[in-house]
Structure 1
């Protein structure tokens, strides 16, 4: 069930280390210490619902930060194929009704400024369903790279905490991180598949936590590489955009991400000229602080 690479396309990883010529300071920005403006208003019906309200006038802002080229001193390889990921994300986010902004090859300072500025769009956020952001770059556990250095994810995501972004309080903030979380490879494990008979077949004002209502989906688990094909794009973004395109109108977000996990786990394996890293596997993961179901009701 492997996803075959196209001719002259190569799988590689989004991480530091010797493997792809990648080598890897953390830059910080200060989130607001307290809420701007008045306490957000929510109806009792909305508060008690099992689903987030997706009937605001706007779906929300979706930001794509796509870093392909890096300063020479970092000794990071170019992320060939990531342009395919960016186009696929842009298309599906637009279809879902988001106002999409794409930023390519951003420094750490620029990445911080983009997200800090986006968090301040209180008037727009107050009339929106949610916020979405995809970051595509090199990385390691807890860290992603701008074109000039590394930044901890916490220093990018903190601008959307409840005490820093009142317009999005009680609304889902969704982040997709396409970047390695380490330098281990997942060799996979073999299993025999049998059918049901045992035969082998063919192949009101209330307080909520400031960390609430956030979901972060990572392309790999902590400590592990993730894979990207130079022609087709990264495995995680390929699977994510395909499943979103098919299912965003009818499935909740956690169901969608579980299907993405399954697709990456079963449909992909590395195909490289280096036998030591050939036939490798990958599994994404997501961390959810959501308090309700995210169901993307189509906009009229």
Structure 2
């Protein structure tokens, strides 16, 4: 069932707002290597009008190929935005997917696949990333060789620098992996709150930055009653040039 209400009017277009009227609104790529959040995220973003593609339990090589394939889709040209959601174990700079050897995939590299030089169909369009990292302590990580992530035989390390790119919204939530180990089937509190906000037609009258401010409040309010080892840490970085409103 669509989240959009019958008879609702799209947010008024203006020079300081991104166009968000295409059908579908864009591709939504969900890569959930934990398996607890896919269903609610798929329902939420499909209801918003996105063409949702879900992948569970990918290893790093499979994720690399998936990102490359999606970035090359020509259908981005006919869409107004793009969303990527990643859920995985990892460290502060990388995600591990389902691999038992923690070579890690640099998070910064993920942005590079969808910048205008790599994905021209998204030029000037908002690209939203929501990352849930279950952080593995350093003493439990294994060192392995660098990973080839671009399909051309080049080694990409965590020190890779990404050129400045506009129109990116990057929300990264981290919590200790012990949270997952204590409740293996529990969803991410961060992603559950995000879904609740986006499914609320009144909250969708707010721009994405204001929605994220409310998300911050929910997450940090929850932290006040949580054990210190189970507290979520939330970071937002963005290079948006305009306001972004989802359809109401």
- TM-score over 0.5 (shorter chain): yes
Rg larger in structure? 1
Cα deviation, 1:3-28, whole Å, max 9, x if unaligned, reads xxxxxxxxxxxxxxxxxxxxxxxxxx
Offset of residue 180 of structure 1? 3.8
Determine which of 50, 74, 81 is the counterpart of 1:130.
81
Q: 1:139 to 1:176 in 2, by over 3 A?
A: same
Cα deviation, 1:166-202, whole Å, max 9, x if unaligned, reads 1000001111110045759xxxxxxxxxxxxxxxxxx
Q: Does 1:51 pair with 2:17? A: yes
Residues 64 and 101, structure 1, Cα contact 8 Å, conserved in 2:
yes
SS of 1:160's equivalent in the other structure is: coil
Which is richer in helix?
A: 2
Q: How many residues of Structure 1 are paired with residues of Structure 2 in the alignment?
A: 204
Q: Does 1:121 pair with 2:77? A: no
Structure 2 unaligned segments of length 5 or more: list them.
Answer: 1-12, 139-162
Offset of residue 210 of structure 1? 5.4
Please list, as runs of the form range in 1=range in 2, the aligned pairs for 1:241-252 lying within 5 A after superposition: 241-246=195-200, 247=202, 249-252=204-207
Q: Does 1:160 pair with 2:114? A: yes
Find the counterpart in structure 1 of residue 247 from structure 2.
297
Structure 1 unaligned segments of length 5 or more: list them.
Answer: 1-45, 69-81, 185-208
Residues 138 and 180, structure 1, Cα contact 8 Å, conserved in 2:
yes
SS of 1:50's equivalent in the other structure is: coil
- For normalisation by structure 1, the TM-score amounts to 0.62
Q: Does 1:139 pair with 2:90? A: yes
Higher relative contact order (CA closer than 8 Å, sequence separation 6+): 1
Find the counterpart in structure 2 of residue 15 from structure 1.
none
Offset of residue 157 of structure 1? 2.2
- For normalisation by structure 2, the TM-score amounts to 0.74
Q: Does 1:258 pair with 2:205? A: no
- Measured on the aligned residues, the alpha-carbon RMSD in Å equals 2.4
Determine which of 20, 39, 61 is the counterpart of 1:87.
39
SS of 2:25's equivalent in the other structure is: strand
Determine which of 168, 172, 182 is the counterpart of 1:218.
172
